[in-house]
Amino acid sequence: MSGTPTPFRLVAFFAALAVVFGVAAAAGSAIDPDRETAAEAPGDGGHAMGEEAGGADHPVRGLGVAEDGLRLVVADPELARGRAATLAFRVVDERGATVRDFDVAHTKRMHVIVVRRDLTGFQHLHPTLRADGTWATPLKLSAAGSYRLFADFERGGDKHTLASDLSVDGAADLQPLPAPASTARSDGGYDVTVTRYGDLQRFAISRDGVPVQPEEYLGAAGHLVALREGDLAFLHVHPTSDARAEFEVTLPTAGRYRLFLQFQHEGRVQTVAYTQEVS
């Protein structure tokens, strides 16, 4: 680790999202597909799910259980509070047939995000694909309430984010969204400070006052998930550069957003949550 401060730099432009938000409220032996090799398209790592190179506009993702002829089917959306469980789901096509062919994107064929509706309890998971085409991952939710499940993947070069609801028994103690701030602390005790220069945001990461340089995580310098308060419109963004942790995203509408920045240091993934507001 160098003694010279190395800021964790994050450029946050957020790519324009569609205006109309149709909320679709529908609610062993395992094969690890990530052991297979698959080439990723060069240069696609810096774009949000639903954004192609060049910044073309695409619909907001993660608002519905179905899109583009694909649908998310969750085996059991009701979970017991505080108990270890297995989250299992399938992706099916318009004929109801289970989809089994997925591209490798950032070292994984499936990224799963689970978060409570008040934007607490964030988890980023990577399930395994069973022989019957079911994706499965261990999941434990300690707080009661309604959660949103996002299945984020690529197929045939196209990006998809399907979403469905999960429920955890009991009375939910919903938390207010924290106010925007220039500092935050990771779940592992790392301090993160953001300095803004217009659209440019630079993140300096330190531990016990000593600057640190993030390691590669899932093939990138870091990962960012942004969720809009209310409808939980979804963005999953990766750095534009292998050498620097820079992200190009666009917060599309007025309102508040909760952003979850993930990076790795000393072999452990850290998660930092912070709020941004667009007026």
Work out whether strand 158-168 and strand 78-79 pair parallel, antiparallel, or are unpaired: parallel
Buried b (16+ CB within 10 A) or exposed e, 137-163: bebebebbbebbbbbbbbbeeebbbbb
Q: How confident is the model at residue 194 (pLDDT cuts 50, 70, 90)?
A: confident
DSSP assignment of 161-191 equals: EEEEEEEESS-----PPPPP-SEEE-TTS-E
d(CA 215, CA 55): 28
Buried b (16+ CB within 10 A) or exposed e, 1-15: eeeeebbbbbbbebb
pLDDT at site 20: 32
pLDDT at site 52: 34
Work out whether strand 234-237 and strand 70-74 pair parallel, antiparallel, or are unpaired: unpaired
pLDDT at site 247: 63
d(CA 99, CA 36): 17
d(CA 171, CA 187): 25
The DSSP H or E segment spanning 70 is strand 70-74
pLDDT digits (tens, 9 = 90+) for 24-81: 333 333 334 443 333 333 333 333 333 333 233 334 677 889 988 999 999 999 999 9
d(CA 43, CA 122): 28
pLDDT at site 200: 57
Cβ atoms of 3 and 198 closer than 8 Å: no
Lowest mean pLDDT among 36-40, 106-110, 118-122, 184-188: 36-40
d(CA 34, CA 91): 17
Closest listed residue to residue 231, CA positions, set 17, 14, 79, 77: 17
Average pLDDT (169-196) is 90
Q: Which domains does the chain have, with CATH numbers?
A: 8-12+175-278 (2.60.40), 55-168 (2.60.40.10)
pLDDT digits (tens, 9 = 90+) for 208-234: 999 888 888 888 777 888 899 999 988
Q: In the numeric block, which tokens belong to residue 104?
A: 């490798």
d(CA 248, CA 54): 11
Residue predicted with more confidence, 11 or 240: 240
